[in-house]
Amino acid sequence: MQVRRCALVLVEPREAIDFDLTELASGETGVRERLGWVALAAHRDEDIPLTAAEVAALGALSPGHWRSLDELSQRHPRAVLEALMAKGLLIAQEPVDETSLQFARADDAVRAVHWRGLPAVMHRHTRWRDVDSEAVERLFAEASSETLLERLGPAQPVVPERVEAARRMPLPRPATSALDALMERRVTCRNYESAPLSFDAFSAVLYRAFGARAVCDYAPGVQLLKKGVPSAGGLHAVEAYLLVRNVEGVPAGLYHYHAVAHALEPLRPLDADAAASLARRFVAAQAYYAGAPLQIALVARFERNFWKYRNHAKAYRAVILDAGHLSQAMYLAATELNLGAFITAAINEVEIEQAFGLEPMAEGPLAVCGFGVRAKERTTVEFDPAHKVWV
C-alpha cells in the first residue's frame, strides 16, 4: 500500500484542564492539568489527539511522495503508522474503505486550492456547526453572578493617544455632504418589518453592492471584474449566496447571485418553515437577523484568489478584507433607499456550506449580511447614539 502524509497539518502542545470532583470534595482545588499533542489538519474538522510517537513519525513523513507502508514500517513502528492512517493524517493512495476514501478526498480538496498552512488550518478550525449563540449567552448568565462588564473590566480607550493634546495638528472638518448624510444614517438594523421587501429595492441593492460594472479580458483565460468596491487583484473572489424568505416576486429559497448577468440563479426552493429554520441556523440563532427578509452569505472563493496568490502569506487576509468592502457597499446602498442592513460573523459556516453544497476549503462562508425594511418600532437594541434613525 502506498501512503503519504496529508498536505497541511499543524501540531499544538495543548494543556487541557479537568476538574476532579472527589478531590474538590476533599478540600483540594480539583484542577487537573493534562498536557498533550493535538493535530489540527486542514482537511479534518476535528482536533486530533496524538501520542509523542505519532508526532515524531508525522514529522518524518513526506506530504509529497507516495511511499510503501511496508518500507516505512522499517523506520517507524507499524502500530504508529496505522494509528496515523486511522486518524486521517496518513493518506492511502488507493483507499480501502469509505472512511479512508473521505480522508483522501478531503486532502485532495485542500491540495487543489494552493492554501498556505497557517490560514488553511485557521479557516477550517474556526468554522461553527450548530452553535446557538443565544443559548451560549444564557449559559454564561446562569453560570456567573457577574455581568459581562464586571468580568471584563474597563475597555481600552477609544483612541490610543500617541502625543499630548497640545502637540496635535488639528484638521478642518469638511462641509456636510450627501455622503456624510448617508453614512450618518447607516445603523445596523436588528428590527425588520414582516411585510415583504419590494423587488425593485432588492434588485437595486444587490446590483450596487455585488454587481459587476464591467468585465475585463485581462489575459487569455483570465477575466477580471470592475465593481463599486475594490478587490485584491481585481479578482472579486467573494460571492453572494442568498437565502430569500420574504421578497416580492422571488419565491423563498436558496439562490446564487450572478454578478455579471445581475441575475439570480435558483438553487433550491424552500417552504416558509424550512426557510425560517435555515435562516435561524445560518446566523447561530440570532433571532433579530433571522427575521430579515433575506440573508446573504458572503462566500470566499479561495480557489479563485489563490489561483494567483498561491501559498501566499497575505492571501487569506485579502479575501476577508474583500468581504468587508462588499458589506459596507451593501449597507450604504440599503441606507440610501431607507432600508436597514446588517452583517454578522457569528454564523454556522458548516450549515451554510451544506445548504449551498460548497466544498469548505474551496469556497467558504466568511459572514452573513442582509437588508430589509425597518420595523416601525424598535424592540431589539440598535446602536444609534446620534438618533439619526430612531428618535
Q: Which residues bind ligand FMN (CB under 6 A)?
A: 187-188, 286, 343-346, 383
CB 35, min distance to ligand FMN, A: 34
Residue 109 to residue 176: CA distance in whole angstroms: 51
CB 242, min distance to ligand FMN, A: 19
Contacts with 321 (C-beta within 8 Å, 6 or more apart), sequence order: 232
Q: For ligand FMN, which is the closer residue by CB, 346 or 362?
A: 346
CB 77, min distance to ligand FMN, A: 47
Instruction: Give the largest Cα separation in the chain, rounded.
Output: 77
Q: For ligand FMN, which is the closer residue by CB, 311 or 338?
A: 338
CB 338, min distance to ligand FMN, A: 15
Q: For ligand FMN, which is the closer residue by CB, 29 or 383?
A: 383
Q: For ligand FMN, which is the closer residue by CB, 11 or 346?
A: 346
- Are 377 and 192 in contact by the 8 Å Cβ rule? The answer is no
User: What amino acid is encoded at 311 in this protein?
Assistant: N
DSSP 321: H
CB 367, min distance to ligand FMN, A: 6
Q: For ligand FMN, which is the closer residue by CB, 11 or 321?
A: 321
End-to-end CA distance of the chain: 72
What string of DSSP letters covers 173-207? PPPP-HHHHHHHT--B---B-SSPBPHHHHHHHHH
Q: For ligand FMN, which is the closer residue by CB, 30 or 324?
A: 324
Number of H helices and E strands in the chain, helices first, is: 15, 14
CB 285, min distance to ligand FMN, A: 11
